[in-house]
Amino acid sequence: MKLKLCTLLAILGLASGATPAADIEGIARACNSCHGTGGVSVGLSMPSIAGLSESYLKNIMMEWKSGTRASANMTRLIKGYTDEEIAGVAAYYAKQPWKAQPQSAPADLLVKAKEATERCETCHGATGGQPDDADTPMLAGQWSRYLELELVKYRDEGFQMTHKKMIKNARKLEEGDVATAAKFYGAQSK
Amino acid sequence: MSKINRRDFIKIAAAASSVAALSFPSIARAGAKAKVVVIGGGYGGATAAKYVKMLDGNIDVTLIEPNPIYISCPLSNEVVVGHRDIGTLSIGYDGLKTRGVKILHDYVTGVDRARKVVNTQGGKTLPYDALVMSPGVEFRYVGIEGYNESMINDIPHAWKAGPQTLLLKKQLEAMPDGGKFVIVVPKGPFRCPPGPYERASLVANYFKHHGKTKSKVIILDANDSHSKKGLFNQAWAKMYGWEKEGLGTNGMIEWVKGAEGGAVTKLDAKTKTVSSDFIDVKADVLNIIPPHKAGKIAADTGLTGKEGNNFEQGWCKVEPMTMASALDPNVYVVGDACVAGEMALYGNPNAAFDMPKSAHIGMAQAKVAAAAIVAKVNGLPPPDPIYANTCFSIVGDNYGFSVAHLYRVQGGTFKYIKEGSGVSPMAMPDKSPVPDIYRKLEAEYADGWLRNVMADAFV
């Protein structure tokens, strides 16, 4: 019985791994290690990816894979996955429920942030929770430390980001407003 | 949190395999819940228990672990130098209990593989349909004349996190300026391949910040190369005056390879002097990391390799598709106790084709084992496994880097996927230096990674 099964699996290309049907859930379980079980991160510098839009997740991974967008580490990892697997993983996490992380910010920071984040509203919505389109990520309730590091990336000329409008606007922020804007969006966790 | 339930998993597994019509023998007994027992509550065991329960809530899962609190080895070097409180590395088992995993704080005295039962010191006998063996490593206090286990309260290894970590911290703090902090590294494979060099970096960083700049960190290494060597040397040159390999250089960190006297064979415990054929070094703080083998229970259970096989001696060989022991299809060995990876190339110090003994890859193995167990219980073939690893090293203020590994199974064997693997860049593609932001980001990500791996395993 065992031998027969092995033979059959080999014919189907399953045991040989020729181009087996990707086990998307299995790949997602690997992503969970850094991004949290089910894509809900508990690490301040790591983004939650559960419930982000499929298009955003797929684009960012494909940009890392093609090398147009820099990352300190994702560019290395992502090249090991096929385009189909990347699309599958994006679709998988897009279907997981978004879970805002409760983070508080002092009242005076929130007032100050109103002005600092004015330029962000056009695309991300008033509290970062109503993105304009599927390619714009949700900010409300994302980890503020992660958001701050993303802004630092957009503002650093040595770090190759792709979204021209975002690069331009991130660099227009006052230095002191970077953390303020990040904390503001982190605190929009309702 | 995750919405995967048993029915989904089974549906997906069936679809992915496209052989749902084939009937795989189910291991569940008629009318009884399938039983999974997990030995060892570290990263590997906790992850296996959690993911089996998550993927199929009908399976009865018991995790056996003597200690009520687990202390993470990853990032414990930060505790040694006072950058992190050990509390941030400590976690209990309530998260797993909430998920329905039964936790038994007991010590396994034996496994009867013929009868498929686990016996404990507390007098329990637990039957299993599938056993996950995740005992971690046991140290072998051999190979250094004059050194034995009774000395670890004076000469700490700090290679299992906890009191040993705090002891090394205390010794570092008490060391006068101009002293020598000596790290003795065993022949690989050992857990956390970049760990000794991360430790050396952070100790040098401690010297810089505490006015002890005349002090030295000396690494006496039984091996002739090490993990992330180029990156470490580059960082050491930038921050700690690294010049070149060998003893007696001007930098704060000195590294002596095995071929040039790094392989320590003798200890004079009274004077904390370690010697090899070529050199003698008198330490102020002596940190000997003993050689490793698989945890005792794995050997007692008969799952470790035979004498005469260099790579498997003392370790457990596994089936690539499922992480089942090569010697018993009902026992799955995950974490540091197993050997896995592209074995044809294993043991080549310049090749990273063997799976590192890291928390992250232990979790990857545990997830593969969990999915294979759940599939088997439900009469399905195992899904295609993915083994991914990321190890961060923190080497200075706002300075970190990482190594990634990806393995798939092709033709029934482990295949290292070069395209999904590799270390942080040494230089940009146009040969210009790597901007500081890359190192800063990876130092930040190390903390985020830690919190997520701890939660993904234990909560």
What does A167-182 look like in DSSP terms, one character per residue? HHHHHHS-TTHHHHHH
Residue B17 at interface with chain A, using a CB cutoff of 8 Å: yes
Same domain, B12 and B103: yes
Among A15, A25, A153, beta carbon nearest to B9: A25
pLDDT tens digits, residue range B224-264? 999 999 999 999 999 999 999 999 999 999 999 999 999 99
Q: How confident is the model at residue B6 (pLDDT cuts 50, 70, 90)?
A: low
3-class state of residue B442 by DSSP: helix
When mean pLDDT is compared across A130-139, B76-85, B375-384, the lowest value belongs to A130-139
Flag whether B452 is in a domain: no
Residue-level pLDDT at B2:
43
Same domain, B353 and B236: no
Same domain, B33 and B133: yes
Fold topology of A107-186: Cytochrome Bc1 Complex; Chain D, domain 2 (1.10.760)
Strand B130-133 versus strand B324-325 pairing type: unpaired
CATH classification of the domain holding B279 = 3.50.50.60
pLDDT tens digits, residue range B280-308? 999 999 999 999 999 999 999 999 986 54
Residue-level pLDDT at B264:
98
pLDDT average, residue stretch B345-352: 47
Residue B25: pLDDT above 80? no
Same domain, B305 and B373: yes
CATH 1.10.760.10-classified regions of chain A: 2-95, 107-186
Residue B346: pLDDT above 70? no
Same domain, B95 and B199: no
When mean pLDDT is compared across B30-39, B304-313, B385-394, the lowest value belongs to B304-313
Same domain, B247 and B353: no
Give A139→chain B minimum CA distance, Å.
18
pLDDT tens digits, residue range B186-237? 998 899 999 999 999 999 999 999 999 999 999 999 999 999 999 999 999 9
Interchain CB distance below 8 Å, B1 and A38: yes
| Residue at a domain's end among B350, B383, B416 | B383
3-class state of residue B412 by DSSP: coil
Give A94→chain B minimum CA distance, Å.
12
Q: How confident is the model at residue B341 (pLDDT cuts 50, 70, 90)?
A: confident
Kindly identify which residue of chain A lies nearest to residue B445, measuring between CA atoms: A45
3-class state of residue B394 by DSSP: strand
Residue-level pLDDT at B40:
98
Strand B125-127's sheet: what is its strand order? B108-112, B117-120, B125-127
Flag whether B255 is in a domain: yes
* Distance of alpha carbon B360 from alpha carbon B316, whole angstroms: 18
pLDDT tens digits, residue range A47-89? 999 999 999 999 999 999 999 999 999 999 999 999 999 999 9
Among B18, B386, B420, beta carbon nearest to A12: B18
Give B209→chain A minimum CA distance, Å.
25
Contacts of B449 in chain A (CB under 8 A): 33-34, 43, 46
Among B19, B408, B453, beta carbon nearest to A17: B408
Flag whether B278 is in a domain: yes
* Distance of alpha carbon B76 from alpha carbon B233, whole angstroms: 22
| Residue at a domain's end among B336, B363, B383 | B383
pLDDT tens digits, residue range B415-444? 999 999 999 999 999 999 999 999 999 999
Total residue count of chain B as it appears in this document: 459
Residue B7 at interface with chain A, using a CB cutoff of 8 Å: no
Contacts of A14 in chain B (CB under 8 A): 17-19, 381, 384
pLDDT average, residue stretch B74-81: 98
Contacts of A61 in chain B (CB under 8 A): none
Residue-level pLDDT at B26:
58
Tell me what percent of chain B is helix, strand and coil, each rounded to the nearest 5.
30, 25, 45
| Residue at a domain's end among B342, B363, B383 | B383
* Distance of alpha carbon B193 from alpha carbon B359, whole angstroms: 11
Residue B349: pLDDT above 80? no
Q: Which of A23, A35, A66 to mutate to test the interface with B (most CBs of B within 10 A)?
A: A23
Interchain CB distance below 8 Å, A25 and B4: yes
Flag whether B249 is in a domain: yes
Q: How confident is the model at residue B15 (pLDDT cuts 50, 70, 90)?
A: low
Strand B338-339 versus strand B316-317 pairing type: parallel
Among A32, A43, A156, beta carbon nearest to B451: A43
Q: Which tokens is A53 given?
A: 């839009």
To the nearest whole percent, how much of chain B has pLDDT over 70? 89
Number of structural domains found in chain B: 2
Strand partners, B313: B305
Q: Which tokens is B377 given?
A: 């219980």
Interchain CB distance below 8 Å, A159 and B435: yes
- Pick from B176, B170, B145: which is nearest to B284 by CA? B176
- Pick from B209, B210, B232: which is nearest to B219 by CA? B232
Residue B7: pLDDT above 90? no
* Distance of alpha carbon B379 from alpha carbon B372, whole angstroms: 10
Interchain CB distance below 8 Å, A42 and B18: no
Q: Is the dihedral of CA B196, B134, B311, B110 positive or negative?
A: positive
Give B376→chain A minimum CA distance, Å.
14
Residue-level pLDDT at B342:
72
Flag whether B421 is in a domain: no
Residue-level pLDDT at B340:
86
Same domain, B320 and B270: no
pLDDT tens digits, residue range B122-172? 999 999 999 999 999 999 998 999 999 999 999 999 999 999 999 999 999
Q: Is the dihedral of CA B2, B336, B299, B372 positive or negative?
A: positive
In chain A, which residues have pLDDT < 70? 1-22, 190
Q: How confident is the model at residue B309 (pLDDT cuts 50, 70, 90)?
A: low
Superfamily name and number for A2-95? Cytochrome c-like domain (1.10.760.10)
Q: How confident is the model at residue B8 (pLDDT cuts 50, 70, 90)?
A: low
Q: Could you tell me the CA-to-CA distances from A76 to A33, B232, B418, B423, B429 in Å, in that order? A: 16, 19, 10, 8, 14
Contacts of B366 in chain A (CB under 8 A): none
* Distance of alpha carbon B336 from alpha carbon B365, whole angstroms: 10
Put residue B178 in one of left, alpha, beta given phi > 0 → left and psi -120 to 50 → alpha.
left
Q: Look up the domain containing B74 and give its range.
A: 6-139+293-383
Residue B310: pLDDT above 70? no
Flag whether B350 is in a domain: yes
